[in-house]
Amino acid sequence: MGPIIVGVNTIQELKKSYRTPETPGSFFFSLEGIEGSGKTTQIKALEDYVTSKGLRCLTLREPGGTTFGEKLREAILGSEAPLHPLAECHLFLASRAQLLNEKILPFLLQPGSVVILDRYIDSTLAYQGKARRLGYSTILELHRHDPLNLLPHRTYFLDIDLETSMQRQLTRGNKKDYFESQKQEFYQNLLDGYREVAELFPERILKIDGSGTVASITEKIHHDLKRLLS
Ligand code: TYD
């Protein structure tokens, strides 16, 4: 926790540069977690919930979600050369800026709209900020400018331990991509990063134990949504 405490004032200052969407009745949500945390399943449940309330819903993933962003996704995740952390970081941010400008911001302009994002700024804080060692304040600094300074109303962080993550990845048996080939230490830092980031943004990030049953996690998200949407 040392480096975070040292940086808290800077981080509190940086947080002032951020905003949340202001269209009445429109909401912006993101889901976060390490590989195998169950984001995909919960995103589906979240979509079902908001559409059952009569809201229009757009679900997107990062990196990607636009034609240009999908090219960047391929460039990053398909990269055979190890990328410099700053190069990596800027590629994710390029994809994000394009996604915000082309899809997220226009969609949220209409009242009663919901955007659900599979990964967003907290992935950059945990992966590039912590695991790649760029530091949280560097990442927050880079997001100060419009349109990158848009924060979700709520982020659901599905917290699982490393053993569960490894076990679930083995069961899936997919070919490992760029990040999935990293060493154990990277994953430990990543998980520590996510947990620290949840503490940096307690008003926005809801940490949920992702090792529970699918139904119990969905129930926690629904409970929170009921309050937020009312
Ligand atoms: P993806 O296959 O979408 O991962 P998952 O299915 O686990 O969501 O690949 C996205 C990868 O990119 C994932 O390993 C996390 C990483 N990533 C970053 O490192 N920084 C970022 O800012 C984002 C958005 C993703």
What residue's CA is closest to ligand 1, atom 6?
35
**Residue 18, in any domain of the structure:** no
**Residue 20, in any domain of the structure:** no
Token readout for 101 is: 């400008």
Q: How confident is the model at residue 172, as a pLDDT?
A: 82
**Residue 34, in any domain of the structure:** yes
Mean pLDDT split into 10-residue runs, the chain, 230 residues: 54 91 97 96 98 98 97 95 96 98 98 98 98 96 96 98 91 78 90 98 97 97 96
* 3 prior amide bond cis, ω within 30: no
Cα–Cα distance between 69 and 95 in angstroms, integer?
A: 5
Q: What is the pTM of this model?
A: 0.94
Residue of 144, 130, 103, 137 lying closest to 195 (CA atoms): 130
What residue's CA is closest to ligand 1, atom 5?
35
Phi, psi of 119 (to 5 degrees): 80, 140
* Residues near 221 by beta carbon (within 8 Å), at least 6 away in sequence: 42, 45, 46, 49, 156, 208
Q: 121-148 burial, b if ≥16 CB within 10 A, otherwise e?
A: bbbbbbbbbbbbebbbbbbbebbeeeeb
Q: How confident is the model at residue 171, as a pLDDT?
A: 87
What residue's CA is closest to ligand 1, atom 3?
62
* 85 prior amide bond cis, ω within 30: no
Ligand 1 environment, Cβ below 6 A: 35, 61-63, 77, 92, 118-119, 123-124, 127-128, 179
How many domains does one find in the chain?
1
Residue 170's domain is classified under what CATH number? 3.40.50.300
Write out the residue range of the structural domain in which residue 100 sits: 25-229
Q: How confident is the model at residue 169, as a pLDDT?
A: 86
Q: How confident is the model at residue 8, as a pLDDT?
A: 62
